[in-house]
Amino acid sequence: MPGVQGMFVANLLENRVLLVTGGGSGLGESMAASFCRLGGLVAILGRNEERLGAALPRIDPSGERSFAVVADVRNAGAVDEAVARITARFGRIDVLVNNAAGNFLAATEELSPNGFDAIVRTVLHGTFHCTRAVAPQMLDRRSGVILNIVATYAWTGSAFVVPSAAAKAGVLAMTRSLAVEWADRGVRVNAIAPGPFPTEGAWSRLMPTPESEAHALGRGPAGRFGHHEELCNLAVFLVSDAAPYITGEVVTIDGGEWLASGGQFSGLAKVPGADLKELMKRAR
């Protein structure tokens, strides 16, 4: 990602310890790699040990500045153990990026309680568990940054992704609440709301057909999807010492998509019923 290296001085995050949840793939892996290239000591956390292991060489070719921990963010005890292991390895955690998430398209009347629970526990409860686990050491040091990854529909809502919309709205409220609660204790809390950024896994579940991808592309006035390095540039800025007076803010990065249409998946309500059912089926 030459844009990250070109925009910032090479040692911007030197010896800063950063924990990225959901760091084994997608935007989490991209952010972790950017942090590492800029001098950071990076820990990635996720449920899939094989995926985390495969990501480490891409994040840190030297193998000296990264660490992977297997944990499910839905499990508070597992998160506490993971944070203890990372702290033992690197001495502390300076930055937490709450990126772990889950999502799928579903007609809400057909959504099971377990399906709703799985998403809300990952996104909302998981963000709380990780934040609560790192907060004591940050507050004791009077220094720390928490960056939450939300979505543009956190404030508009969106059809067909009700669990994610509800959970992301909760994370946004948590971001703003903690920013006020902890501002005078040296901890900043911000959020990024990405629009459509192609990734492995989530992308195929949310854009399972060429038609659905074309529909998403047509919603954005910029006429394209986001590039990972663009989001990484923003994340690096927000977690760095270049933004010490920014807290409680959510920065949208979507090429103007939500302003033009709102409710990222709400347009699917106009898809004929049979076609929509087939789309949902292919999205699982």
| pLDDT, position 264 | 61
| Cα atoms in the 13 Å half-sphere on the side-chain side of 87 | 16
SS3 category, 275: helix
Q: What are residue 244's phi and psi, to 5 degrees?
A: -70, -20
| Cα atoms in the 13 Å half-sphere on the side-chain side of 48 | 11
Residues with Cβ within 8 Å of residue 128, at least 6 apart in sequence: 174
Provide the H-helix boundaries in the chain. Answer: 2-7, 26-37, 49-59, 76-90, 113-120, 126-141, 153-156, 162-182, 202-206, 210-219, 228-239, 257-260, 273-282
Sign of CA dihedral 212, 48, 123, 1: negative
Q: Name the residues annotated as catalytic.
A: 153
Q: Among residues 260, 25, 23, which one has the least CA distance to residue 147?
A: 23
SS3 category, 159: coil
- pTM confidence score: 0.89
- Among residues of the chain, what percentage have pLDDT more than 70? 86
pLDDT in tens, 169-180: 999 999 999 999
pLDDT in tens, 216-227: 787 788 899 999
Sheet holding 250-253, edge to edge: 66-70, 41-46, 17-21, 95-98, 144-149, 187-194, 250-253
d(CA 249, CA 238): 10
> DSSP state, 193?
E
pLDDT in tens, 23-59: 999 999 999 999 999 999 999 999 999 999 999 999 9
201 pLDDT band (50/70/90 cuts)? Answer: low
| Cα atoms in the 13 Å half-sphere on the side-chain side of 99 | 28
d(CA 124, CA 73): 10
Residues with Cβ within 8 Å of residue 270, at least 6 apart in sequence: none
| pLDDT, position 1 | 44
Domains and CATH numbers, the chain: 2-282 (3.40.50.720)
Decide if pLDDT at 274 tops 90: no
Question: What mean pLDDT is reported for the chain?
Answer: 91
Beta strands 144-149 and 41-46: pairing type?
unpaired
